[in-house]
Structure 1
């Protein structure tokens, strides 16, 4: 037998399986019953899945916080400025965004913002350009008379 076959690492091989629809349904019901902070109990109802697998599957794929929509310049700017302040604390950063998971925020940063070398100033300028092209422009407050 080779060293690799006897090693401690080979005894604990990680088995990767795709999540089935039935497992997702069970997971959603378990989270509904026990909440998002009781992964020990949740995982007891999901056969052959660990609490870590259940938590990651729920947060990254099933949670309402993981919304699939286009990213805005404001969100990119928030990610960039908060990352400059707090570092790679994706959970903390995601809490400042609406319906974005920590994993989605991390992927956005490394897959788009950092790769393109976008600066915070560029994002702010783009957001201002988009805002000024809106159909709803602010009006002068003196345009109307206030009635009491």
Structure 2
């Protein structure tokens, strides 16, 4: 079985032939087996195939601005179900993907999102953390209340561009961003795993209770046997002459 390596990967625009190979592979394997699908599209990784399908080729996919009705449905989902299980959320908003729903909520609709002007101390913290850990925007966002990963990333690079345009010296080393291979339904899979663990915990507790009950029953039987032995040891030995 051949596997795409980093050196063999293509980047940039997809060809029509690649799109047809991707459609055929998805018809064969469905929309879950991305590693198998990628083997049918030479030079493309599983994550490239996933993004190409979910963002560009998937039938019925809606792109562009969100409508007021879509935003209302998304807000209702977040209020009723919490900001999670985005794949399930997308089933209630026709044409939108789970990723679109997640990004719309966390970047735009979330009432905790801060959209005002950036303070000098925020910029300083972004640059300081970037020098320490690189482009780990999720980690940096955890230290800036109300700022999203996307807004922090945009702020950082827009500041860099402004500094270059003004001829300022940039002392920060720009480390290359390596996209993580994230697959859909990760939250659902984690939720399923947690449910399975809880189920096994119940089975374990039940089994432990049964074992304790069995041990108690065995202890009772053992005590009875010990009492019988003591009783037998206290009897005089039986000899044939005692019988008539």
What is the TM-score normalised by the length of structure 2? 0.43
Shift of 1:38: 1.8
Shift of 1:51: 0.6
* SS class of match (2:115): coil
Aligned with 1:49 (options 84, 96, 100): 96
Higher relative contact order, chain-length normalized (CA < 8 Å, sep 6+): 1
- Report if the CA contact (8 A) 1:94-1:102 is conserved: yes
Aligned with 2:87 (options 40, 57, 67): 40
Which residue number in structure 1 is paired with residue 68 of structure 2? 21
Shift of 1:25: 0.8
Shift of 1:100: 0.6
- Report if the CA contact (8 A) 1:65-1:101 is conserved: no
Provide the aligned C-alpha RMSD in A. Answer: 2.4
* SS class of match (1:45): coil
Which residue number in structure 2 is paired with residue 4 of structure 1? 16
In the alignment, the residues of structure 2 paired with residue 118 and residue 49 of structure 1 have an alpha-carbon distance, to the nearest angstrom, of 43
Which residue number in structure 2 is paired with residue 30 of structure 1? 77
In the alignment, the residues of structure 2 paired with residue 98 and residue 54 of structure 1 have an alpha-carbon distance, to the nearest angstrom, of 21
**CA distance 1:119–1:97, change in 2 (3 Å):** farther
In the alignment, the residues of structure 1 paired with residue 20 and residue 77 of structure 2 have an alpha-carbon distance, to the nearest angstrom, of 36
For structure 1, the residue ranges without an aligned partner over 5 or more in a row are 121-148
Which residue number in structure 1 is paired with residue 197 of structure 2? none
For structure 2, the residue ranges without an aligned partner over 5 or more in a row are 1-14, 25-52, 172-244
In the alignment, the residues of structure 1 paired with residue 122 and residue 74 of structure 2 have an alpha-carbon distance, to the nearest angstrom, of 29
Question: Which deviates more, 9-18 or 48-57?
Answer: 9-18
Shift of 1:44: 2.3
Q: Which runs of 4 or more aligned residues in structure 1 lie more than 4 Å from their structure 2 counterparts after TM superposition?
A: 9-12, 117-120
Greater radius of gyration (CA): 2
The 5 Å alignment of 1:75-114 reads 75-112=122-159, 114=160
The 5 Å alignment of 1:121-140 reads none
What is the TM-score normalised by the length of structure 1? 0.68
The 5 Å alignment of 1:65-84 reads 65-84=112-131
Task: Summarize deviations over 1:2-49 as a string: whole Å, max 9, x none.
Answer: x72673357843452321011001001101111122212322222221
